[in-house]
Chains A and B, each alone.
Chain A
């Protein structure tokens, strides 16, 4: 299972620091909610965790291993994470079944399992 730790994690957009030296430890199986007014950096933190943003400073580790830092970022598709987006991001050009099945293509599931889902 997995633990997540953020050490002095920092992201700036121009002058403004959206996430400023955030320290956060999330243990295995823990359920964590980030609350705060708009613009306080919740989304930025999530996007850093998912690998869509590169931090300007600090580190982000999963199971003690650095997957994001100012130098290197493991791309989102290699993180084996999941995320639900603010806009839901349902693909309008696909059917419901296609939307659900799309991700399975990359999980290397057997054809049989896929057709079961279909």
Chain B
């Protein structure tokens, strides 16, 4: 029970310091973080709308008319819709199947399967696309050569430079999103619900169709939208696989509008439909998943029995590893081979083995050293500042520090609806002119990454804070610590694991970023992903493979150290 211990309250109150004692001295920190966030989000978006609607001669919707009258642009929109729809559907089928197998059946090697799905998740799609050009290019592709040797045919079995090829590769790097979403839901559906149906006399298939499937349906639709959105905003894969075939998507078209002579205003006008489409889809997804309340039935009573696969175990396991070999084993194998051989298309024999590519990439090729430096500098910087900002914002919204605080959630999550390339168009417009010219430096990339990675950092910090009882912090305040001190002394140490995870997500997101970097880099501020994209033009297969493997290795190292740390964290493992 609270007791006032002395008369100090009365004493502080006298003598004209009335206003001061009511004011939270840490308020400037919270307001500063909130304003920074709002600036980050509002500037680029405002710039896009402005540039698409105004020019020297004033307001006009002419550019929008031009976009929607131009057959090439319409074709790009149409291509994007077809590709993304297919990617969404196939990714849901594969992602849901794997998620169900891993969570609801007695399939062996679940940990390995999860780790491989994680590996697909971490692989930058542009790198996967590049690896698949080596595997299934019509002429020199390894799989096609194998097929020809096997059958004596002159034909190629696969041509990755086609729309189905592009869809195929995008599926490989989109299904992990669906997987994690559905796996979460599958973990939550209690077997009791299925048992209830069984008691009423339904058979296995009927139960699956009338109970399990409807319960999972919102997550399936949500997963579709997620995969659809992901493929909508990809730039690297369509640029690598689509452009050689003359296949434009919205993102590659925006990029093309930036090539000489640049048409910024058109790029802005063309970005708006993409922006509106993603906004609509996210709204739809929220609505669909928002109704999930009835379906997940809480984590309570979580009796979960695993379906016995019986004799089906082996074929199912083979199928699973076949899928994962498409996204992980084959691409990694060909990258490794390309990195370590003189000629990537020849078998990796001792004669063909060489570290030339490695030394060339790290020591001889001028662009790469600087790019590696830039990439990791930006990764560490963005992850650190981003985690800090996300922590402050998540704290503000979680504890509802001031009126309207919860609207900050909207700003923090806004980049989810902004494809990277659209964000880049906005930032390009804002920071190529006074008052703040950042273009030409790494700082414009820093701003882009900070903005783009805010949702992941924020949601991670937010969910971590939710799991920490606010009384732990109240207890520190009642004995005299202000909000900021409490946050630093109590909440942040308790949230350590979650915040380190946020840091690493941002870091990995940054070092693989291509779609915003491709519009914002300058010769002195190239990053690894951009160098890979450039080298692609020059056909420097071995160097690309070396850089790609570097990105992968660093990403895995970061993930493993986070897991190691979380496993040892006494606070995090307590629950």
Contacts and interface: CB of A to CB of B under 8 A. Distances in A.
Given A78-B21, A82-B478, A93-B571, A67 B9 contact: yes
Contacts of B469: 87, 89
Contact of B21 (A49, A62, A74, A102): A74
Contact of B482 (A63, A67, A75): A75
A2 B471 contact: no
A13 interface: no
A36 to B, nearest CB: 14
B477 A77 contact: yes
Interface string A1-24: 110100000000000000000000
Q: Is the interface of B mostly helix, strand, loop or mixed?
A: helix
Interface string B346-374: 00000000000000000000000000000
Among A2, A4, A46, residue most surrounded by chain B Cβ atoms (within 10 Å): A2
Contacts of B12: 78
Given A32-B1, A91-B472, A93-B493, A82 B571 contact: no
Contact of B3 (A2, A73, A76, A103): A2
A70 interface: no
Nearest to B25: A75
B105 interface: no
Interface in A94-117: 102-103, 105-107
A11 B89 CA distance: 50
A28 to B, nearest CB: 9
Contact of B2 (A50, A75, A92): A50
Contacts, number: 119
Task: Classify chain A: how many residues form its interface, as a range.
Answer: 35 or more
Contacts of A74: 9, 21-22
B13 interface: yes
B7 A83 contact: no
B6 A102 contact: no
B69 interface: no
A2 B571 CA distance: 39
Interface in A12-50: 32-33, 46, 49-50
Interface residues of B, number: 37
B4 interface: yes
Interface string B438-478: 00000000000000000000000000000001011011111
B471 A103 contact: no
Nearest to B493: A93
Given A75-B482, A77-B481, A78-B21, A89 B474 contact: yes
A1 B49 CA distance: 63
Given A62-B10, A74-B21, A89 B2 contact: no
Interface of A: 1-2, 4, 32-33, 46, 49-50, 52, 62-65, 67, 72-87, 89, 91-93, 102-103, 105-107
29 contacts: A1-B7, A2-B4, A2-B9, A4-B4, A46-B1, A46-B2, A49-B2, A62-B4, A62-B9, A62-B10, A64-B10, A72-B22, A73-B22, A74-B9, A74-B21, A75-B477, A76-B478, A77-B482, A78-B9, A80-B8, A80-B9, A81-B478, A82-B3, A87-B471, A87-B472, A93-B494, A106-B479, A106-B481, A107-B480
Instruction: Name the 9 nearest CB pairs between A and B, nearest first.
Output: A106-B480, A103-B479, A2-B4, A89-B475, A85-B471, A81-B2, A76-B477, A89-B471, A63-B10
